[in-house]
Amino acid sequence: MTSARKNSEISIVALDPYDYKGFRYHNSNVEAFNFSKTVNKRDFFISYIKFKDLKTTTIFIPRSVDNDTLYEELYSKVYAELSLDPALDNKIFFSEGSAKAQERIFTVFAITNEDINSTFKAVAKKVPYIDYLAPEPLIYSAIYKKGLLPSTQADCFIALRKDESFLSIYLDGDFFTAREIRYNLNYLKDKFLEQSGDRLSDDKFLEVLSQRGLVNKDDDGFNYDLNTVFEDYIFYFNDILNIINSQNGIAIKKIYIDCDYEIKNFANFISTKLGLDAEYINIKVAINNKNYTINERYNVMALFGRFYTKEPFYENFNLSNMLRPDPFVKRKSGKFLLTCAAAFALSMLYPAYNYIAGLVLEKDSARLNDEYSVLNAQEMQIKETLAKISREQEAVKEQTQKENEKLNFRKGLLAEIENKKDNYAMKGLNLFKITDILNLNAVHITNIVNNDRNLTITAVSDNEKRITQLIKDISKDEKYLVNTKKIRSDDAKHEYESNISIEIRQ
């Protein structure tokens, strides 16, 4: 990348609360920040929160949702998807992507104030202010502000640290979205040791990366296990890129690497595997950079701070709980005291001013008292009207409840009457039809038992065949299911008797 040199009267202090380190950038020079020395409160202090310490998600909102209800919809989805506790003091930040998709796409960051305070507990003992606290993926926006990258394409920044790894997508120079990658350097080291069977310390592993690195299999120094582990990392990373491209209708053109440690041939390795241009971030914001070992994160934060002091941007994403107070003249108390001082000076210089001011204040006081009396009377009238309306509402609710009870009772009564009417008509019709069949077969009924849709009749005849024929005739109608256990014979009376059970199906 092109060197970025800029003179600035305000010193920028870039702090890392996790390593308790910092660098102070002034004009074109940089020096290590000493926490034990007295801090210059005029410096601009900038820091960051690791991506892994943020809760993040992507929210899709239909474009039919209007702006009046948009944030209500967003907050509802964020609390549900991130399982945020409403009892905690949560800070929630939204960034809407500029991709022209069917739905509006929002990247969300969330963190509690308690977590921020815990992270900066040690720093807060030495540094009075944090003027800007950035979510880590947002700091790369300063590179576009400086004009070091074209703001006309989709770029991907891949950050690889010991304990975290993530990618940050920028579209036309604006932050678009970010995703976590589970393959951090510690994870890659463990996978390498597991696969190779070697036993290496952290320092030795980093030495292998910086001196041997990632080379083609035909070149000297090729390490199959190391290349395999990083190949898995790159393909996993590529899967995430493909998903983002597909979901948002974009095409990422270039990859920029932000790694805390040197990995030889890493950029070429990515380009070869993915077919995309890849290079390390390399920003020079101080002419004496070579005198210090400085992660690019500090340089990017310094660049961010310089532009922010001139023209604030991404103000809504400032996570800081340690903002410096406004200048005295901009505070309400300062304005009040300055006004009092000016009034005192005027009163001393122009004695007549007090007299005139007294008259004006007296008139204003009388006018305000009159206005207060009118407004107070209006307030009492409004309260009485509201109370009356409230009483009327309660009366209407009570009357409505009573009328609903009457209506429900009448509905139930009518339903019961209709049910009995229909059922009794059905039963009468069926009895009439069965009686016709009995008469046709010259069979007598001595008893009828009716239970809902079950009808049991006691049939008597001097001929067994007539009872049998009766059963057949009734069974011909599909509405009836006929069942009889036995036809009994009474020799003394010369007759036959059977209890016939008839189930009325409809």
The mean pLDDT of 463-467, rounded to a whole number, is 85
Question: Which ranges in 180-327 belong to alpha helices (H)?
Answer: 185-196, 202-211, 224-248, 266-274, 296-310
Q: Which residue has the higher pLDDT, 31 or 99?
A: 31
- Asked whether the whole model's pTM tops 0.85, one would answer no
Q: What is the mean pLDDT of residues 324-340?
A: 61
Task: Average the pLDDT over 144-161 and give the result.
Answer: 92
Segment 105-130, tens digit of pLDDT:
888 999 999 999 999 999 999 999 99
Whether residue 352 is predicted with pLDDT greater than 90 in this model: the reply is no
For residues 305 and 83, the answer to whether their CB atoms sit within 8 Å is no
The pLDDT of residue 360 is above 60: yes
Domains contained in the chain, CATH given: 1-148+283-324 (3.30.420), 150-274 (3.30.420.40), 441-504 (3.30.70.2830)
Lowest mean pLDDT among 76-85, 131-140, 486-495: 486-495
Q: How sure is the predictor about 420, in pLDDT bands with cuts at 50, 70 and 90?
A: low
pLDDT over 50 at 453, yes or no: yes
Q: What tokens appear for 404 in the block? A: 């609903």
Looking at residue 4, its pLDDT comes to 46
How far lies 410's CA from each of 399, 406, 423, in Å?
17, 6, 20
Mean pLDDT (whole number) for 260-277: 93
pLDDT (tens digit per residue) in 368-380: 887 887 888 788 8
Return the pLDDT at 7: 46
CA proximity to 275, closest of 257, 248, 252? 252
Closest CA to 267 of 218, 228, 225, 215: 215
The whole-number pLDDT of residue 5 equals 44
Quote the radius of gyration of the chain (alpha carbons, Å).
43
Instruction: Share the mean pLDDT of the chain.
Output: 85
Q: Which of 177, 153, 179 is nearest to 105 (CA)?
A: 177
Residue 504 DSSP one-character state: E
Mean pLDDT for the stretch of residues 371-390 = 84
Arithmetic mean of pLDDT, 450-463: 83
**DSSP secondary structure of 85-152:** -TTS-EEEEEEE-----SEEEEEEEEEEHHHHHHHTHHHHTT-S--SEEEEGGGGGHHHHHTTSS-SS
For 158-168, what is the mean pLDDT? 95
Residue 3: predicted pLDDT: 45
Asked if residue 335 has pLDDT above 60, the reply is no
Range 422-435 average pLDDT: 66
Mean local confidence (pLDDT), 398-421 = 73
What is the pLDDT averaged over residues 67-95?
90
- The dihedral through the CA atoms of 406, 407, 408, 411 has a sign that is positive
